[in-house]
Every structure is written in structure tokens, then in C-alpha cells.
């Protein structure tokens, strides 16, 4: 069975996506558009687009970061690039309250 990373609520999470040209060299390349989609299980998804939303930043050529502070729950983050470096990937993780600090 797969294990999900467990994070403590109240901390920011950075999801990094790298986009490479699909050839033998695999050179890092900027996609035409970069969209991160965040979805908490049982809730609607929300898109964050590079150049539009401050949560998405370019780290280097072909490398983009999505930074947010997720609430408690199970999350999936999908990264999608289009154009020259068309690619997609997804990560999932759980956010939970710190039991040592719970009241």
C-alpha cells in the first residue's frame, strides 16, 4: 500500500514541478503555460496559473514552484505544462493538526 506524506497544519507547502523537452537530452524548458490545480478530498478544485497567481513562481528555466498553506485534510496537487514542454504530474499528501499542540 502506498504511503502519503503527512504534514502539520499551519505550515506552507511548496510543490515543485520540472518540465523537460521530451527528447534524449531532456533539457529543462519553460512550457507555454503552467497550471497547478489544488484539490482537497471532498471539495472543489482550484487552479493557480503562472503569471496570474502569486502562489506560482518560476524558480529557474523549466522549474516552477507552487506555494500554499493547506488546511487539514487529504490533498492532491496536479501540475500541468502546455506547449513546448507539455507534461503533467501529481502529488498527494495529508495535512493534520499537531497532536502535541491540540487542545
Q: Hey, CA dihedral for 99, 13, 89, 47, is it positive or negative?
A: positive
Q: Cα–Cα–Cα angle for 53, 73, 91, nearest 5°?
A: 60
Pairing of strands 87-96, 5-8: parallel
84-100 pLDDT per residue, tens: 888 899 999 888 887 66
CB distance 26 to 20 below 8 Å:
yes
35-77 pLDDT per residue, tens: 999 999 999 999 999 999 999 999 999 999 999 999 999 999 9
The conformation of residue 43, written as its DSSP 8-state character, comes to S
Q: What is the pTM of this model?
A: 0.86
Is residue 5 scored above 80 in pLDDT? Answer: no
Is residue 1 scored above 50 in pLDDT? Answer: no
Mean pLDDT on 9-19: 89
Amino acid at each position: 500500500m502506498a504511503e502519503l506524506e503527512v504534514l502539520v497544519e499551519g505550515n506552507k507547502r511548496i510543490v515543485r514541478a520540472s518540465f523537460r523537452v521530451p527528447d534524449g537530452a531532456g533539457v529543462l524548458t519553460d512550457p507555454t503555460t503552467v497550471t497547478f490545480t489544488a484539490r482537497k478530498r471532498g471539495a472543489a478544485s482550484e487552479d493557480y496559473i503562472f503569471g496570474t497567481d502569486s502562489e506560482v513562481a518560476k524558480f529557474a528555466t523549466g522549474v516552477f514552484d507552487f506555494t500554499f498553506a493547506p488546511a487539514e485534510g487529504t490533498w492532491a496537487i496536479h501540475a500541468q505544462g502546455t506547449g513546448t514542454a507539455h507534461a503533467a504530474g501529481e502529488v498527494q499528501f495529508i495535512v493534520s493538526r499537531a497532536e502535541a499542540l491540540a487542545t
